[in-house]
Chains A and B, each alone.
Chain A
Amino acid sequence: MNVQQSHGQPLLSVRDLRLSYAADRGDVRAVDGVSFDLEAGQTLAIVGESGSGKTSLALALLRLLPRNTSQFEGQITLNGMDCMALSDGDFRDRVRWRQISMVFQGATESLNPIYKVGHQVREVLTARGDQSRQAADERTRELLDMVRLPTETFNRYPHELSGGMKQRIAVASALALNPTLILLDEPTSALDVGVQAQIMNLFKRLKSNLGVASIFISHDIALASDLADYIAVMYAGRLVEIGPSEDILGAPSHPYTQKLLAAIPRLRSDTPLEFIPGAPPDLSDPPTGCRFHPRCEFAMDRCRVDGPREFVTASGQSLAACWLLDERTS
């Protein structure tokens, strides 16, 4: 799926990306033919339920493949460079963290418990031998300041910091090498609401100050809308709808997107919240045709047989993979 957002060369271009894991019950197709473009400095939110393949997509972009990976193919072009053609070593040295960095969901789990957090940020700068200890120290303090942490945090251990502070450290580390793209994988899900707001504000400030592009992965479409220029909705390993945030939020075309939006609580609303009946499909044995059809109230006969093409939506700005749009246009 692909929306031409501008005529220039995109920062990141993903085509037909596939990532499967070997499991006892057969291959689990976590990412199953995902395509999208991302412009420099823009934020793309990828929303979807748990198990829809959002995190696998992020791991695939960083080539952090679990040991049981059985299929990994497609095209990933970053700044005009064909990432899939790089060897593992080249990818690690040239792309990982230099160009694409990541903030993980669990701030606590992503930090090594036995090193001072300052040293863990500094390690990124000195590991490849490109910076001296002093220069790296200097830069680390600068990064701590950037994420609004006091300088003395440098000498703290992870267990001495709160969840929000640890996530700030993770952000500082992600920014260390001035990447062009940051993957934010549910970066606020483990935090309570007040801290969540602080971290979201931090992301917004970094976005406008540094101009770094990001992919914001979340199950919370309302939260994602706070930051995203574009929203992609993921279901069962595939993108079902992608487009500008206002368009997706204001005029969702895919029934799944509509259901997701209807499930957001509103203040003083008398209408009960909607929910999506059924459960996300088993990715080792996905439904035939459109993967959403067993849960879709508009499902037609062809939905059960044919996987839908993508169609330009009524607004002309988004793409959605749903046969309903074919009905409308014809």
Chain B
Amino acid sequence: MALAYTLGLRALSLVGVVLVVLVLVVVTLGATGFSDRMLTAIVSEEMRGQRQALAETIRDPERLEETLRERRIDLEEFYGLDDPWYTRLPAMVGRVLTLDLGSARNLRSFDGSSRVTDIVLERVPYSMMLVTTSLVITAIIGLWLGAKLATRVGTRSDRLTSYLAAASNALPAWWAGILLILVLSFQLRIFPSGGLYSSPPPEGELLRFMDLLWHAALPVLTLVLVSVGAWTYVVRTMLLNTAQEFHVTAARARGLPEGQVMRRHILRVAAPPIATNIILALTGSIGGAILTETVFNWPGMGRLYFDAITTADEAVIVALTFMFTLMYVAARFVLEILYVVLDPRVRYTAQ
């Protein structure tokens, strides 16, 4: 009972988080004038093009100005500039909250649809292919290596790995990506430098898929390189903290085999914080990786977010922010439940 009550409270506060994030988006886009400025600039840019085009067919200057004025009003209506930001943006948020993500103004899916849902659904698999895959690889290496190091603290291999971990953590993803392209793509010609498929793409489903994997190899390698160090080090430290707790010595004193001490008395006890890392990272991975996707010209979610911001496509920005926040909040809620399962000390009392 108390458990349901507290989980309900948590759910409520997480819903609050979603609302606050959306308000913040409205404020940053609207109240700062960013959105209006960007849209006005886009309208002016288009008007310049239209004026040149119309000037060739409409000779009468007055009619030209009249037509241009009409066009401008049409454009401003199209971009929503006829409404002030404080009615335009909240309306967008309200619609998004009913799970209607709306339509993009400029961005299109590969087959031309402007529905945000279409655009997103098309990109999510590509992002997951890159970021989620690399995360899974990173987490497996990090857990395995971190556990190994935790059992041999202070040895040469431990110190060497710690230095490498720091170096990996300091490595910028875009720089590592460019370096890998230079060496493995231009010099050794083992991997392609970017994109999804070769041109022309190979015939047949299987060959096409293999081609896609081949193109994904370098960006995945980049992401693993820059994140595996931090993972290894964090896992090592968490396990070490647990390994130094006295109950581990007591477990050894009871003559339990070393493998069982590691599994049941160290790994299992350190599981909650590690699970937190994994679940939050998995959720975040769906959001893509802006820099790596840009360097490798990979049409994922990171690139989509980036493009939406540079073209001031408010509908897409609001929809993506809503989606990511919702996923984060859902992950947090899963974690709340997971903690109760993993750690009996987490007691929920209704107070």
* Chain A positions near chain B (C-beta within 8 angstroms): 62, 64, 67, 92-93, 95-98, 101-102, 104, 106, 109-115, 123-124, 127-128, 157, 159, 173
Is B156 interfacial (CB-CB < 8 Å)?
no
Apart from A109-B247, A113-B344, 10 more pairs, CB < 8 Å: A64-B249, A92-B255, A95-B255, A97-B254, A110-B247, A113-B247, A114-B344, A123-B256, A127-B256, A127-B257
* Shortest distance from the beta carbon of A38 to any chain B beta carbon, whole Å: 19
From 219 to 251 in chain B, residues with beta carbon under 8 angstroms from any chain A beta carbon are 245-247, 249-251
Instruction: Given A127-B257, A157-B344, check contact A111 B250 (CB 8 Å).
Output: yes
Enumerate chain B residues within 8 angstroms of A93, measured Cβ to Cβ: 255
B249 near A96 with CB under 8 A, answer no
Across-interface contacts of A110 in B (CB, < 8 A): 246-247, 250
16 A-B residue pairs with CB within 8 Å: A64-B249, A92-B257, A96-B254, A97-B253, A104-B253, A109-B245, A109-B246, A111-B250, A113-B343, A114-B268, A114-B269, A114-B342, A115-B264, A123-B254, A127-B257, A173-B254
A115 — nearest CB in chain B belongs to which residue? B264
Residues of A within 8 A of B343 (CB): 113-114
Indicate which residue in B256, B264, B345 contacts A113 across the interface (CB closer than 8 Å). Answer: B345
User: How far apart are the CA atoms of A321 and B251 in the complex, in Å?
Assistant: 37
CA distance A157 to B250 in the complex (A): 17
- In Å, the complex CA distance between A320 and B163 comes to 54
State in angstroms the CA–CA spacing of A110 and B248 once bound together: 8
Q: How large is the interface on B (under 10, 10 to 19, 20 to 34, 35 or more residues)?
A: 20 to 34
Asked if B88 lies at the interface with its beta carbon under 8 angstroms from chain A, I say: no
- Cβ–Cβ < 8 Å partners of B251 in chain A: 112
B260 touches which one: A95, A113, A127 (CB < 8 A)? A127
Interface digits, B255-286 against A, CB 8 Å rule (1 contact, 0 not)? 11100100011001100000000000000000
Say yes or no: is B51 at the interface (Cβ < 8 Å to chain A): no
Q: Cα distance A109–B260 when bound, in Å?
A: 19
- The answer to whether A114 touches B246, judged by C-beta atoms less than 8 angstroms apart, is no
Most buried by B among A114, A127, A157: A114
Check B148 for interface membership: any CB of A closer than 8 A: no
Asked if A159 and B245 make an inter-chain contact with CB atoms under 8 angstroms apart, the answer reads no
Smallest Cβ-Cβ distance to A124: which chain B residue: B254
Q: In the bound complex, how far is the Cα of B41 from the Cα of A10, in angstroms?
A: 96
B253: contacting residue among A98, A102, A111, CB under 8 A: A102
Name the CB-closest residue of A to B266: A112
- B269 contacts A112, C-beta separation under 8 Å: yes
Q: Which residues of B contact A92 (CB under 8 A)?
A: 255, 257
CB distance B265 to A112 under 8 Å? yes
B252 at the A interface (CB under 8 A) = yes
- B153-174 at interface with A (beta carbon < 8 Å): 153-154
Minimum CB–CB distance for B149 against chain A, Å: 14
A112–B246 Cα distance when bound, in Å, is 9
Chain B residues whose CB sits within 8 angstroms of the CB of A102 once the complex forms: 253
A97 to B264, CA, bound (A): 18
Residue of B nearest to A66 (CB): B249
Q: Give the CA-CA distance A85 to B245 in the complex, in Å.
A: 30
Measured between beta carbons, the chain A residues less than 8 angstroms from B264 are: 112, 115, 123
Chain A nearest CB from B176 CB (Å) reads: 36
Which residues of chain B are within 8 angstroms of A111 by Cβ–Cβ distance?
Answer: 247, 250
A104 and B345 in contact, given A109-B245, A112-B265 (Cβ under 8 angstroms) = no
A97 and B255 contact, CB distance less than 8 A: yes
Tell me the bound Cα distance from A93 to B260 in angstroms.
13
Interface string of B114-154 (1 = CB under 8 A from A): 00000000000000000000000000000000000000011
- Residues of chain B with a CB closer than 8 A to A64's CB: 249, 252-253
Residues on the A chain within 8 Å of B153, using CB? 67
CA of A173 to CA of B264 in the docked complex: distance in angstroms? 17
Q: List A contacts of B154 (CB < 8 A).
A: 67
Across the interface, which residues of A come within 8 angstroms of B257, CB to CB? 92, 127-128
- Give the most central of B154, B245, B249, B269: most A CB within 10 Å: B249
CB distance from A108 to the nearest CB of B (A): 9
Cβ–Cβ < 8 Å partners of A106 in chain B: 246
**A173 and B254 alpha carbons, distance in the complex (Å):** 8
CA distance A37 to B92 in the complex (A): 84
Find A127's partner among B253, B255, B268, B342 (CB 8 Å cutoff). Answer: B255
1/0 contact string of B334-351 vs chain A (CB within 8 Å) = 000000001111000000
Which B residues lie within 8 Å of A124 (CB)? Answer: 254-256
Enumerate chain A residues within 8 angstroms of B254, measured Cβ to Cβ: 96-97, 101, 123-124, 127, 173
Cross-interface CB contact of A157 among B247, B255, B345, cutoff 8 Å = B345
Q: For the complex, what is the distance from the CA of A123 to the CA of B252, rounded to whole Å? A: 12
B253 touches A96 (CB 8 A): yes
Q: How far is the CA of A97 from the CA of B257 in the complex (A)?
A: 12
Residues in B whose Cβ lies below 8 Å from that of A98: 255
Instruction: Compute how far the CA of A83 lies from the CA of B249 in the bound complex, rounded to whole angstroms.
Output: 20
Question: Bound complex: CA of A326 vs CA of B92, how far in Å?
Answer: 98
Contacts of B268 in A (CB 8 A): 114
Complex contact A114–B253 (CB within 8 A) = no
> What's the Cα separation between A112 and B243 when bound, in Å?
11
Closest A residue, CB atoms, query B261 = A127
